[in-house]
């Protein structure tokens, strides 16, 4: 009898994607968005971004030079491209799309556009033309900024022919006259001769600046514009950050208008969101950031690079790589989580045993220090130390949610084990019920993972990593403060007031206020988009 192999994990990519489709909500991330593209039809693109007839919501156009410049630039680039003999399409200029916070609609449009355009020209010294837009639904406030890779020379550079010069029908310089003649000895159509003493080349532009095609250029521009945006945001909650592509998270892709690959990108984003949520959970569980980066690099980065080099881009394979990485990270989570629980139990036991000794030492110290004459000033609590109790409450919520997810995963593992043992035609009904139960557990786990990430987002943090950075800083400050207070109590013979009920109520009220402000901020952004 041949036994059918049962899958190790029924949680397939398709099932997980379906779960996220049902949910239909993506995490809010406040990373800056700046995209660069190459322009092969400069004249057409300028017309597109600056024409009121072609744009429903065009608010302003700003130019650092006249339109003749762009005509000459396109001509120059085409001539240089033709001479080079390079295959493909000529790049006539480049374009940046800069997403703006929705609150920037309150700024005077002409001045806002001028500020962003002149910012680029001052930094890089090239001419620009820019337009300020809204998309059709007014949910995306953005700037199109076209810039030149060449500068205009102060004086044209002319090259004079020292002898007759011959050019074939492709504009390529050849050495002899014979090379441009046909079989009958006549000039082939399109070939030409430039006589000795005449101008054979006239340049009004510099060569292309190579920095605009370097890998570091776009990152540099993103940081520069992100800093500029953050100067003018009125609410700290709107401040942006540059996404760290070398960090633990995966970036989300922008779908764009009328994108034929919109469905594919959205599916890809859902799987990327799953990885990011697993990273959040890993950080809460105590998995070291280096280990997370190692998983990301080995399971996604290296394998994706090798696959692209071998057979090109394959979205389905990329999703599969991410899912494999998620399973690897979940294995680390379960291991670290189990170790942390065992360690916590040992620490609790040790603290309980040491309490009588600490009390005895404190009593002796108090007796000794009572004889001291000078009474020191009570330590003052720093702002980070004051913030710690509030952050500790948030951290407690994260831990509680993480434990709940672990419990659900254990339930799922148990059900999957039952499914594997339910064989035969007479157990079909039982198997179907177990499979339905497993499906429900999968949905619950997916929702719970998404909620874990949303906990910190409701308090104004982009992700768990950002929250934990502040949490650990404040915790260190708080522990230092507590140590200072303990020393002061020993020296002064007094006991400092612990957090009172009133203080805890105040923290709770502040917490509710912060969450409500975040909700209002999100509602404000969506409301602006609907105008």
pLDDT digit string (tens) for 476-487?
Answer: 999 999 888 888
The reported pLDDT for the residue numbered 23 is 43
Region of residue 125 (left: phi > 0; alpha: psi -120 to 50; beta: else): left
Q: What is the mean pLDDT of the chain?
A: 82
The reported pLDDT for the residue numbered 517 is 63
Of 119, 120, 113, nearest to 142 (Cα)?
113
Of 255, 252, 271, nearest to 30 (Cα)?
252
Q: Is residue 128 part of a domain?
A: yes
Last residue in a domain, options 195, 223, 242 = 242
Please state, in angstroms and rounded to a whole number, the distance separating the CA atoms of residues 165 and 172. 11
Q: Which residues pair with 158 in a beta bridge?
A: 202
Are 37 and 138 in a shared domain? Answer: yes
Q: Could you tell me which residues come within 8 angstroms of residue 156 by beta carbon, excluding any fewer than 6 positions away?
A: 202, 203, 204
Are 415 and 440 in a shared domain? Answer: yes
Please state, in angstroms and rounded to a whole number, the distance separating the CA atoms of residues 266 and 253. 8
Residue 503 has pLDDT above 70, yes or no: no
Q: Which residues pair with 37 in a beta bridge?
A: 95
Span 321-341, mean pLDDT? 87
Last residue in a domain, options 242, 259, 290 = 242
Transcribe 318-336 into DSSP letters.
HHHHHHHHHHHHHHHHHHH
Residue 109 has pLDDT above 50, yes or no: yes
- Cβ–Cβ under 8 Å, residues 6 and 430: no
Backbone angles phi, psi at 505, to 5 degrees: -65, -40
The reported pLDDT for the residue numbered 178 is 87
Of 380, 500, 519, nearest to 458 (Cα)?
519
Are 40 and 187 in a shared domain? Answer: no
Residue 114 has pLDDT above 70, yes or no: yes
The reported pLDDT for the residue numbered 515 is 64
The reported pLDDT for the residue numbered 20 is 45
Backbone angles phi, psi at 465, to 5 degrees: -60, -45
Residue 302 has pLDDT above 60, yes or no: yes
Q: Are strands 199-205 and 152-160 parallel, antiparallel or unpaired?
A: antiparallel
The reported pLDDT for the residue numbered 373 is 52
- Which residue pairs from 356-363 have beta carbons closer than 8 angstroms and sit at least 24 positions apart in sequence? 362/489, 362/490
Higher pLDDT, 219 or 355: 219
Please state, in angstroms and rounded to a whole number, the distance separating the CA atoms of residues 314 and 296. 18
- Can you state the angle between helices 262-285 and 464-492, rounded to 10 degrees? 20
Q: Is residue 126 part of a domain?
A: yes
- Cβ–Cβ under 8 Å, residues 146 and 95: yes
Burial class (CB in 10 A: 0-12, 13-18, 19+), 159: exposed
The reported pLDDT for the residue numbered 389 is 92
Q: Is residue 490 part of a domain?
A: yes
CATH number assigned to the domain comprising residue 78 = 3.30.930.30
Are 408 and 513 in a shared domain? Answer: yes
Are 184 and 53 in a shared domain? Answer: no
The reported pLDDT for the residue numbered 146 is 98
Are 95 and 178 in a shared domain? Answer: no
Residue 123 has pLDDT above 90, yes or no: yes
Question: Could you tell me what percent of the chain has a pLDDT over 70?
Answer: 81
Please state, in angstroms and rounded to a whole number, the distance separating the CA atoms of residues 137 and 102. 13
Residue 472 has pLDDT above 90, yes or no: yes
Residue 70 has pLDDT above 90, yes or no: yes
Cα angle at 368 between 363 and 374, to 5 degrees?
120
Please state, in angstroms and rounded to a whole number, the distance separating the CA atoms of residues 2 and 394. 53
Please state, in angstroms and rounded to a whole number, the distance separating the CA atoms of residues 75 and 85. 16
Helix (H, G, I), strand (E, B) or coil at 112: helix
pLDDT band at 163 (very low <50, low <70, confident <90, very high): confident
Higher pLDDT, 444 or 346: 444
Please state, in angstroms and rounded to a whole number, the distance separating the CA atoms of residues 122 and 452. 44
Q: Is residue 147 part of a domain?
A: yes
- Name the DSSP letter for residue 163: S
Span 402-406, mean pLDDT? 91
- Name the DSSP letter for residue 106: G
Are 133 and 189 in a shared domain? Answer: no
Are 412 and 501 in a shared domain? Answer: yes
Span 127-153, mean pLDDT? 94
* Chain centre distance of CA 353: 47
Q: Is residue 342 part of a domain?
A: no
- The CB density around residue 523, as the number of other CB atoms within 10 Å, is 10
Span 89-112, mean pLDDT? 95
The reported pLDDT for the residue numbered 287 is 92
Residue 42 has pLDDT above 90, yes or no: yes
Please tell me the total count of domains within the chain: 3
Q: Is residue 230 part of a domain?
A: yes
Higher pLDDT, 317 or 17: 317
Please state, in angstroms and rounded to a whole number, the distance separating the CA atoms of residues 191 and 299. 56
Containing domain of residue 144, as a range? 32-151+210-242
Please state, in angstroms and rounded to a whole number, the distance separating the CA atoms of residues 70 and 529. 34
Are 135 and 156 in a shared domain? Answer: no
Are 188 and 48 in a shared domain? Answer: no
CB-side neighbour CA atoms (13 Å) of 212: 23
pLDDT band at 180 (very low <50, low <70, confident <90, very high): confident
Backbone angles phi, psi at 36, to 5 degrees: -120, 140
Higher pLDDT, 521 or 513: 513
Span 255-264, mean pLDDT? 74
Are 504 and 407 in a shared domain? Answer: yes
Please state, in angstroms and rounded to a whole number, the distance separating the CA atoms of residues 371 and 300. 66
Candidate from 28-32, 171-175, 217-221 with smallest mean pLDDT: 28-32
Residue 468 has pLDDT above 90, yes or no: yes
Q: Is residue 48 part of a domain?
A: yes
Q: Is residue 500 part of a domain?
A: yes
The reported pLDDT for the residue numbered 511 is 66
Torsion of CA 323, 328, 332, 338, to 10 degrees: 80
CB-side neighbour CA atoms (13 Å) of 460: 17
The reported pLDDT for the residue numbered 267 is 87
Higher pLDDT, 501 or 113: 113
- Can you state the angle between helices 215-232 and 109-124, rounded to 10 degrees? 140
Q: Could you tell me which residues come within 8 angstroms of residue 57 by beta carbon, excluding any fewer than 6 positions away?
A: 133, 134, 135, 136, 138
The reported pLDDT for the residue numbered 474 is 93
Please state, in angstroms and rounded to a whole number, the distance separating the CA atoms of residues 9 and 12. 7
Residue 27 has pLDDT above 80, yes or no: no
Model-level pTM?
Answer: 0.61
Are 147 and 158 in a shared domain? Answer: no
pLDDT tens, residue by residue, 6-16: 444 444 444 44
Please state, in angstroms and rounded to a whole number, the distance separating the CA atoms of residues 521 and 531. 16
Please state, in angstroms and rounded to a whole number, the distance separating the CA atoms of residues 465 and 448. 18
């Amino acid at each position: 009898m041949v036994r059918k192999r049962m899958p190790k994990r029924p949680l397939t990519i398709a099932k997980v994607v379906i779960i996220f489709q049902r949910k239909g909500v993506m995490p809010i991330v406040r990373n800056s968005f700046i995209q660069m593209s190459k322009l092969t039809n400069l004249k057409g693109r300028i017309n597109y971004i600056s024409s009121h007839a072609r744009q429903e919501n065009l608010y302003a156009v700003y130019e650092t030079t006249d339109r003749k410049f762009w005509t000459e630039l396109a001509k120059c680039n085409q001539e240089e491209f033709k001479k080079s003999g390079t295959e493909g399409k000529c790049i006539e200029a480049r374009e940046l799309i800069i997403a703006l916070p929705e609150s920037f609609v309150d700024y005077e449009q002409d001045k806002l556009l001028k500020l962003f355009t002149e910012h680029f020209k001052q930094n890089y010294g090239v001419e620009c033309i820019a337009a300020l837009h809204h998309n059709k639904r007014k949910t995306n406030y953005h700037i199109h900024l076209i810039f030149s890779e060449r500068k205009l020379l102060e004086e044209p550079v002319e090259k004079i022919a020292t002898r007759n010069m011959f050019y074939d029908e492709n504009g390529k310089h050849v050495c002899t006259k014979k090379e441009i003649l046909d079989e009958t000895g006549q000039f082939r159509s399109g070939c030409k001769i430039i006589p000795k003493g005449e101008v054979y080349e006239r340049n009004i532009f510099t060569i292309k600046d190579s920095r605009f095609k370097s890998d570091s250029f776009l990152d540099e521009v993103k940081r520069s514009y992100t800093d500029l945006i953050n100067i003018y945001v009125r609410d700290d909650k709107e401040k942006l950050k540059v996404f760290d592509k070398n960090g633990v998270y995966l970036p989300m892709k922008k779908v764009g208008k009328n994108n034929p690959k919109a469905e594919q990108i959205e599916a890809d984003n859902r799987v990327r969101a799953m990885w990011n949520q697993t990273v959040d959970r890993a950080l809460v569980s105590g998995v070291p950031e280096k280990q997370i980066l190692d998983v990301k690099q080995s399971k996604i980065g290296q394998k994706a690079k090798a696959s692209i080099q071998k057979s090109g881009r394959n979205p389905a394979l990329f999703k599969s790589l991410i899912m494999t990485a998620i399973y690897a990270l979940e294995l680390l989570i379960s291991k670290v989580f189990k170790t942390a629980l065992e360690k916590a139990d040992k620490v609790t036991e040790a603290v309980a045993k040491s309490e009588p000794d600490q009390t005895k030492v404190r009593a002796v110290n108090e007796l000794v220090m009572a004889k001291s004459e000078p009474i020191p000033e009570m330590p003052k609590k720093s702002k980070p130390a004051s913030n710690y109790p509030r952050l500790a409450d948030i951290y407690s919520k994260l831990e509680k949610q993480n434990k709940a997810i672990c419990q659900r995963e254990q339930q799922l593992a148990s059900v999957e084990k039952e499914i594997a043992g339910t064989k035969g035609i007479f157990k079909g009904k039982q198997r179907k019920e177990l499979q339905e139960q497993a499906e429900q557990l999968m949905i619950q786990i997916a929702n719970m993972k998404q909620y874990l990430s949303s906990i910190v987002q409701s308090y104004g943090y982009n992700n768990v990593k950002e929250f934990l950075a502040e949490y650990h800083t404040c915790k260190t400050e708080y522990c230092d403060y507590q140590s200072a207070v303990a020393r002061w109590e020993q020296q002064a013979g007094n006991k400092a007031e612990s957090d009172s009920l009133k203080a805890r109520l105040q923290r709770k009220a502040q917490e509710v206020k912060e969450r409500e402000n975040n909700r209002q901020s999100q509602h404000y952004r969506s409301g602006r988009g609907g105008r």
